[in-house]
Amino acid sequence: MVAVHSLGRRELPLKHPKLTQYRVDFKALPALPRVGEAFIALGTTIKVAGSQAAFRAVDFDAVVAVAKAAKAAGASRLGVVSAMGASARSPVFYNRVKGEMEEALSALGFDTLVIARPSFLAGDREALGQPLRSGEKLALRVSKLLAPLIPANYASVDARLVANALLTIVPRERGRRVLLSGELQNLRKPAASPP
């Protein structure tokens, strides 16, 4: 039987018989139930976090902690949301932290590591209780108007498409794979997990 175990700082307004939610402190994770696949979509902004150190605590420390806990619980496959431009050698702090996170996850030895590097993420943040980022609505409107002129890897991508892409690729991939926005937009249907 397939079951979903969700870790978060707060409980989401979702109910499903196969879903178990855990409110956790990412600095002191409990032992996780046995899992085969793990998906991580943790992230914040420096503005919301309040400082570069607080941002790093979420986008690096918490992500790596969850990946280690998933590996200890038996996960051999991992899908993670990173960001376009992620590079451990980037002069841009945000991109450097994302790149360092990717390198740390690569070193954990998962059989499958799929990294989604979306451009600007679109979605209903308010429905999730997340603050709208400054200029986000305007950027999305401009992005839609100019969509035919924007290369696919730089166009905004709906968060649901990112999730669907990871659900499609992680169960069937081996090794490390990076998915950019253009590819994320083209993978629409999640595949069934192998038995």
Nearest CA to 120 out of 136, 131, 134 is that of 136
34 and 71 Cβ atoms separated by less than 8 Å:
no
Confidence of residue 113 (pLDDT cuts 50, 70, 90): very high
Structural domains of the chain ordered from first start? 32-121+133-186 (3.40.50.720)
pTM of the model: 0.83
| pLDDT tens profile 52-64 | 999 999 999 999 9
Residue range 119-169, pLDDT digits in tens:
877 665 555 455 555 555 655 666 666 666 666 666 677 788 888 899 999
Provide the terminal-to-terminal Cα distance of the chain, rounded to the nearest Å: 10
